[in-house]
Amino acid sequence: MREYLVTFRKTVPDDSGHDHRVLQRRAVVTACSEVAAAFAAKAMLCEADGIVDWRLRADTCEVAAIDRHAA
């Protein structure tokens, strides 16, 4: 099992109409694959926010492996 950093962002426009990617939530998840980490983090987001679909809070879900052995 590995650790993954899962990041959720939502694109929102500012007053001038320019889009910005706003961080909604980050979670460190232990899973056997990136796909499993994304699935677990999406479920955690839904449970924490009391929603049925993670896309109500975010547009993207990015998964990155955490390398604990890096110098």
* pLDDT tens track for 23-62: 999 999 999 999 999 999 999 999 999 999 999 999 999 9
The number of CA neighbours under 13 Å toward the Cβ of 9 is 11
Check whether domain 2-65 has CATH 3.30.1490, yes or no: no
- Please give the model's pTM, rounded to 2 decimal places: 0.87
Query: Residue 24 has what pLDDT?
Result: 95
Query: Residue 67 has what pLDDT?
Result: 86
Max intra-chain CA distance, the chain: 45
Residue with tokens 């955690």: 44
End-to-end CA distance of the chain: 21
The number of CA neighbours under 13 Å toward the Cβ of 28 is 6
Query: Residue 7 has what pLDDT?
Result: 98
